[in-house]
């Protein structure tokens, strides 16, 4: 699902929403009276283009079109999704909804990024209350999957279903809360930790840096992959949650927390926290901190993908959706034109594929070409079932030429020409491009082997037939430049 999304309010959250929609193929219209809105959103987009595509092991759809509008009605007219991210003032939000509903399609979803207001408060006085839902995301919106979808009885099930479908199609995890409460669910946890942290700093127990270290060196890592209750279930040992509750339940009566008491928000407290925060991380600009944060988030979430766990499971489900809509064929009959080099790999360069020079590291070029070879093997019939039956191809020799750089977030594609496919021999030439620019080639010579004897042998007849079919189709391509070359020093 993709269409036109209108972003009303282009701050940190609105800019994150713009990036999430835009990089998932939506056309995005932004309305924000701030004269700096275009610059600010441009900077958010630069970070998103660098990090978001690297979460996927499948190509994202082509990026949508971004436009900025001086009038709200121009932005929301014809949009199928309107995301409101204006400041947290209830009367302002209600006024904005009146203007939106006067100009938008009655069937459009209007989502609010509010972190505190209940949807019934937002719907009060609206011309079409059932059109408004809470869709509260988490920063950075373009990376973190969670969005709290909060609805009321005024919302038609069809509206809720469309909202869920759109959010999931963008790789997000809509947590549907059918019973509303101020600050929803996740922000109530954050508020509790924030209150306790303020007391610890105010009372001189810990500095802002020590509070952060306590979180990121310990329970924060556990929470990222198991949450709260599952973490404590494991802490209960073999007896599980009942043992944990019995062991630590009495502690709830002890004075371990000051959650019900709020420190006075004085200038002295603000100065103390601001000064400690500056000392902690003031050496970095906000944009540098955002990139550090994004690098770490992508790395952690890609690790979770390997175990299909937590946020990683959401990303794997998104990859499956993306792959279903790509031009990457898995059988020879799915290839539209065998007479041209065949698309065998397409993906954005993940952050963890880059090295100390800031570009894709050498091993990842080989990885990408190896994946392209695997896809070509699938096309000719050497798939998982064939390999399980005892036949496969082993690489005997490889040669990679690095012609240009590939940076984090760059969308790369590999197309493969078969130079020889006869008997036990398979000779492939891969071209890696970024758009129309050739950035690398990979030449690979493989031998078909018996996995039982580990010796070369002829493949089955259907593989030979498929290779012959490709050979006939690609006969007019000619020998590619760079094929068969040895390493030589440049002039």
Positive or negative torsion for Cα 43, 48, 51, 53 = negative
Q: In sequence order, what are the residues at sequence separation of 6 or more whose Cβ sits closer than 8 angstroms to the Cβ of residue 397?
A: 444, 445
Q: What is the pLDDT of residues 204-239, one digit of tens each?
A: 999 999 999 999 999 898 888 888 888 888 888 888
Q: What is the pLDDT of residues 94-137, one digit of tens each?
A: 999 999 999 999 999 999 999 999 999 999 999 999 999 999 99
491 — pLDDT class (breaks 50, 70, 90): low
Question: What does the DSSP assignment read for 92-131?
Answer: HHHHHHHHHHHHS-TTSEEEE--SS--HHHHHTT-SSGGG
Asked whether residue 369 carries a pLDDT value surpassing 80, the answer given is yes
Quote the pLDDT of residue 107.
95
The beta strands (E) that lie in 332-436 are given as: 342-348, 391-402, 411-422, 425-434
1 — pLDDT class (breaks 50, 70, 90): low
How high does pLDDT run on average in the chain? Answer: 92
Positive or negative torsion for Cα 429, 434, 435, 439 = negative
Query: Which of these ranges, 104-118, 251-265, 282-296, has the smallest mean pLDDT?
Result: 251-265
Q: Please name the helix (run of DSSP H) or strand (run of DSSP E) that holds residue 132, with its range, or none.
A: strand 132-137
The beta strands (E) that lie in 241-323 are given as: none
Quote the pLDDT of residue 265.
77
Flag whether 10 is marked binding. yes
Beta bridge partners of 131: none
- Rounded mean pLDDT, 403-431: 96
164 — pLDDT class (breaks 50, 70, 90): very high
Asked whether residue 144 carries a pLDDT value surpassing 90, the answer given is yes
Nearest one of 245, 255, 53, 273 to 143, comparing CA atoms: 53
Asked whether residue 49 carries a pLDDT value surpassing 70, the answer given is yes
Total residue count of the chain as it appears in this document:
491
DSSP state of 489: -
Quote the pLDDT of residue 449.
97
Asked whether residue 348 carries a pLDDT value surpassing 80, the answer given is yes
Question: How far apart are the C-alpha atoms of 320 and 322, rounded to whole Å?
Answer: 5
Flag whether 13 is marked binding. yes
- Rounded mean pLDDT, 320-345: 89
Asked whether residue 476 carries a pLDDT value surpassing 90, the answer given is yes
Give 183-192's long-range contacts (Cβ < 8 A, gap of 24+): 183/115, 183/116, 184/115, 184/116, 184/134, 184/136, 184/148, 184/150, 185/148, 186/136, 186/138, 186/146, 186/148, 187/115, 187/116, 187/136, 189/228, 192/259
Q: In sequence order, what are the residues at sequence separation of 6 or more whose Cβ sits closer than 8 angstroms to the Cβ of residue 380?
A: 332, 421, 463, 466, 467, 470
Query: Which of these ranges, 171-180, 188-197, 452-461, 466-475, has the smallest mean pLDDT?
Result: 188-197
Q: In angstroms, what CA-CA distances link 209 with 163, 192, 270, 273?
A: 39, 18, 15, 10
Q: In sequence order, what are the residues at sequence separation of 6 or more whose Cβ sits closer than 8 angstroms to the Cβ of residue 362?
A: 355, 400, 402
Question: How far apart are the C-alpha atoms of 141 and 60, rounded to whole Å?
Answer: 17
Question: How far apart are the C-alpha atoms of 145 and 24, rounded to whole Å?
Answer: 13
Distance, CA of 66 to chain centre = 19
Quote the pLDDT of residue 490.
62
Query: Which of these ranges, 13-27, 83-97, 216-230, 427-441, has the smallest mean pLDDT?
Result: 216-230
- Rounded mean pLDDT, 327-339: 88
Angle between helices 286-306 and 311-324 (to 10 degrees): 80
Flag whether 15 is marked binding. no
Quote the pLDDT of residue 238.
86
Flag whether 11 is marked binding. yes
Q: Domains in the chain, please, with CATH?
A: 4-184 (3.40.50.720), 187-283 (1.10.1040.10), 328-473 (3.10.129.10)
């Amino acid at each position: 699902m993709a269409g036109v999304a209108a972003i009303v309010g282009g701050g940190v959250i609105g800019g994150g929403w713009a990036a999430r929609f835009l990089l998932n193929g939506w056309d995005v219209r932004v309305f924000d009276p701030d004269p700096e809105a275009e610059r600010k959103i441009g900077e958010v987009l630069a970070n998103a283009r660098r990090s978001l595509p690297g979460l996927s092991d499948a190509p994202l759809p082509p990026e949508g079109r971004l436009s900025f509008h001086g009038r709200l009605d121009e932005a929301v007219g014809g949009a199928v999704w309107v995301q409101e991210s204006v400041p947290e003032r209830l009367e302002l939000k209600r006024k904005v909804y009146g203007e939106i509903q006067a100009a938008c399609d009655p069937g459009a979803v209007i989502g609010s990024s509010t972190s505190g207001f209940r949807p019934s408060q937002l719907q009060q006085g609206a011309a079409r209350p059932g059109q408004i839902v809470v869709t509260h995301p988490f920063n950075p919106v373009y990376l973190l999957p969670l969005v709290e979808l909060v609805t009321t009885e005024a919302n038609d099930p069809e509206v809720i279903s469309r909202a869920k479908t759109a959010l999931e199609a963008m790789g997000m995890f809509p947590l549907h809360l059918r019973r509303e409460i101020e600050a929803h669910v996740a922000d109530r946890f954050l508020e509790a930790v924030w209150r306790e942290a303020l007391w610890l700093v105010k009372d001189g127990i810990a500095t802002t840096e020590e509070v952060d270290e306590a979180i990121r060196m310990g329970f924060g890592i556990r929470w990222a992959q198991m949450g709260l209750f599952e973490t404590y279930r494991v802490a209960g040992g073999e007896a599980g949650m009942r043992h944990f509750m019995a062991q630590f339940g009495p502690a709830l009566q002890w004075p371990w927390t000051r959650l019900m008491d709020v420190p006075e928000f004085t200038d002295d407290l603000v100065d103390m926290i601001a000064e400690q925060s500056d000392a902690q991380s003031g050496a970095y600009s906000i944009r540098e901190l955002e990139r550090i944060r994004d690098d770490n988030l992508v790395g952690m979430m890609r690790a979770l993908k390997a175990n299909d766990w937590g946020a990683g499971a959401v990303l794997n489900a998104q990859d499956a959706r993306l792959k279903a809509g790509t031009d990457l064929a898995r059988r020879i009959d799915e290839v539209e034109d065998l007479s041209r080099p065949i698309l065998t790999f397409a993906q954005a360069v993940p952050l963890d594929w880059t090295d100390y020079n800031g570009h894709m590291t050498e091993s990842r070029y080989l990885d990408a070409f190896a994946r392209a070879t695997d896809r070509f093997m699938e096309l000719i019939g050497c798939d998982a079932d064939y390999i399980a039956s005892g036949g496969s191809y082993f690489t005997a020799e490889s040669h990679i030429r690095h012609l240009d750089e590939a940076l984090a977030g760059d969308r790369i594609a590999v197309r493969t020409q078969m130079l020889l496919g006869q008997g036990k021999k398979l000779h492939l030439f891969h071209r890696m491009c970024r758009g129309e620019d050739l950035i690398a080639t990979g030449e690979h010579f493989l031998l078909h082997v018996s996995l039982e004897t580990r010796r070369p042998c002829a493949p089955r007849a259907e593989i030979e037939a498929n290779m012959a079919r490709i050979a006939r189709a690609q006969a007019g391509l000619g020998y590619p430049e760079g094929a068969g070359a040895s390493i030589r020093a440049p002039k």
